[in-house]
Amino acid sequence: MRQIVVTGGGTGIGRAVAAAFAEQGDQVVVTGRRKDVLAQTAAALGPLVRAVAFDAADPAQVEAALAELPDRVDVLVNNAGGNTDIGAEPTEGLTGLAAAWRANLDANLLSAVLVTTALRDRLARGGAVVSLSSIAAHRGGSGSYGASKAAVEAWNLTLAQQLGPGRITANVIAPGYIEDTDFFGEGIAPARRAWNVSQALNNRPGTPADIAGTVLYLASPAASHVTGQTIHVNGGSFSGR
């Protein structure tokens, strides 16, 4: 039975990814900071899913969580993250700016780097690491969030080089606008939503299931020769060719 770890698996895209693996019969650990949210998700997704709570951007918490994570990991999905500017108080001066940038780099880049490094020796031959970036890394407009996701894509190339000899793939998925997540906190403004949807060639928002399907493919034997790539899942809003 494959062992899967999905960071940020309590809500949104991560929850859909965890559900998709569990439906295939894989054993899944969902992680995140909120114990109650994780416990509800694990209970809803069934006996193949269990929860381990820790802050993926905190080195000490990641190290402490290792005892509860599987000894062998077939698939690691670095999904934890989000735009920490959303809902944040406006910052003042360079000190505030630095704190805001560090928050996005911590949430999106360091979370993936720390968890992957901590689990590096447990990754199984033939396994896969899939990390979440964003269309924001390519289209601009979101400052430190886009920069943090662009850094995930750059880091992934080194990761793919390191893991390749062990026949482990490392890829990134860059979603466009995805609905039914907690990403936008209080919710997205209707005009912004309409613009996002209008950018997609199929005139629809993305769903967590769209991303889960791509994760399943990247984690399957069919994708064993696909590594070091960024896969764009956005209805054609942005072309990564």
Ligand X SMILES: NC(=O)c1ccc[n+]([C@@H]2O[C@H](COP(=O)([O-])OP(=O)(O)OC[C@H]3O[C@@H](n4cnc5c(N)ncnc54)[C@H](OP(=O)(O)O)[C@@H]3O)[C@@H](O)[C@H]2O)c1
Residue with tokens 């920069």: 147
The reply on whether position 111 binds ligand X by CB under 6 A is yes
Residue 108: partners with Cβ closer than 8 Å, 6 or more residues away = 81, 82, 145, 148, 149, 151, 152
Residue with tokens 């793939």: 169
Tokens in use for 9?
A: 């698996």
Comparison of 201 and 222: residue with beta carbon closer to ligand X: 201
20 binds ligand X (CB under 6 A): no
Which residue of 34, 167, 192, 204 would you call a contact of ligand X, by CB under 6 A? 34
230 lines the binding site for ligand X (CB under 6 A)? no
**Which candidate in 21, 101, 145, 183 is catalytic?**
145
Choice from 19, 29, 32, 45 touching ligand X (CB under 6 A): 32
Q: Which stretch binds ligand X (CB under 6 A): 44-52, 78-86, 96-104, 220-228?
A: 78-86
Shortest spacing between CB 1 and ligand X, in angstroms: 24
With contacts defined by CB under 6 A, name the span among 49-57, 69-77, 164-172, 220-228 that binds ligand X.
49-57
Tell me if 177 contacts ligand X by CB under 6 A. Answer: yes
Question: Which of residues 58 and 92 has its CB atom nearest to ligand X in the complex?
Answer: 58
Residue nearest to ligand X (CB): 12
Nearest-approach distance from CB 19 to ligand X, in angstroms: 13
Q: Which residues are catalytic?
A: 145
Residues that bind ligand X (CB under 6 A): 7-8, 10-14, 32-34, 37, 55-57, 79-82, 107, 111, 132, 134, 175, 177-178, 181-183
